[in-house]
Amino acid sequence: SAVISQKPSRDICQRGTSLTIQCQVDSQVTMMFWYRQQPGQSLTLIATANQGSEATYESGFVIDKFPISRPNLTFSTLTVSNMSPEDSSIYLCSVAQGANYGYTFGSGTRLTVV
Amino acid sequence: DAKTTQPPSMDCAEGRAANLPCNHSTISGNEYVYWYRQIHSQGPQYIIHGLKNNETNEMASLIITEDRKSSTLILPHATLRDTAVYYCIVTKANSGYALNFGKGTSLLVTP
């Protein structure tokens, strides 16, 4: 299965600033997915990133707040913009590998906004 | 995607089998049942998936009822390291579909 390198693993940021999270996959994948996991909660899908087109955002998430880049089939970034303490969460990327394979997740980025 | 229902928490003694149930009564014919687990502060880990036949791998067994409306994940000999939140997810097996996570079952394996 694919191996995902996600960076940074954690960060503490000042409110009003932005953080860019990177996910590098060791193989080419069509779709990449970005999730948020708020403290004590399950994972919530933020958006789906397809190479060469704009990401598709889920209800409650907007591009201005969470811009995503997908420059090639092995890499994607998620930016958390103009952060507030409510953005303190774990952010995870994920890829799927076809009909009969599971989905692989990055190790997550633990973000704390102060 | 079909909705799933899982008990919020379960306990299991170390060395015993852990049987985690999942209801998915609205599952459609082309949807698979996936199981993932998340150990504290880590990314979710794939365990197993199936369509209608029972499946077994080195981690677990998946038993799907004949009507496909429910399934059970079996960890045959639970260890302390199996303490985690277990998610049952139903989705079409196509890389264009994201996994939608419910609340899962928090499994505590005790000595």
In tens, the pLDDT along B38-57 reads 998 789 999 999 999 899 99
Residue with tokens 């704390």: A112
Tokens of B9: 């928490």
The predicted model gives B54-66 an average pLDDT of: 96
Burial class of residue A22 in the structure, from the number of CB atoms within 10 Å of its CB (0-12 exposed, 13-18 middle, 19+ buried):
middle
If one compares A1 and A41, the residue with the highest pLDDT of the two is A41
pLDDT in the model for residue B30: 87
**Single-letter amino acid code for the residue at A108:** G
Alpha-carbon gap, residue B91 to B30, rounded angstroms = 8
Contacts of B82 (CB under 8 A, 6+ apart): B12, B18, B37, B75, B107, B109
Question: What pLDDT was estimated at residue B82?
Answer: 97
Q: Is A108 close to B43, i.e. CB distance below 8 A?
A: yes
- Closest chain A C-alpha to B88 CA, distance in angstroms: 12
Indicate the average pLDDT of chain B.
93
Chain A residue whose CA is closest to B94: A99
**Residue A98 pLDDT class (50, 70, 90 cuts):** low
Shortest Cα distance from A99 to chain B (angstroms)? 5
Q: Assess whether pLDDT exceeds 70 at residue A85.
A: yes
CB-closest option in A1, A29, A42 to B101: A42
Percent share of chain A, pLDDT over 70:
96
What average pLDDT does the structure give for chain A? 93
CB neighbour list of residue B25: distance below 8 Å, 6 or more residues apart? B2, B69, B70
Residue B40 touches chain A, beta carbons under 8 Å: no
Contact B93/A99, CB-based, under 8 Å?
yes
Q: State yes or no: pLDDT of A102 exceeds 80.
A: no
- DSSP 8-state code for residue B79: -
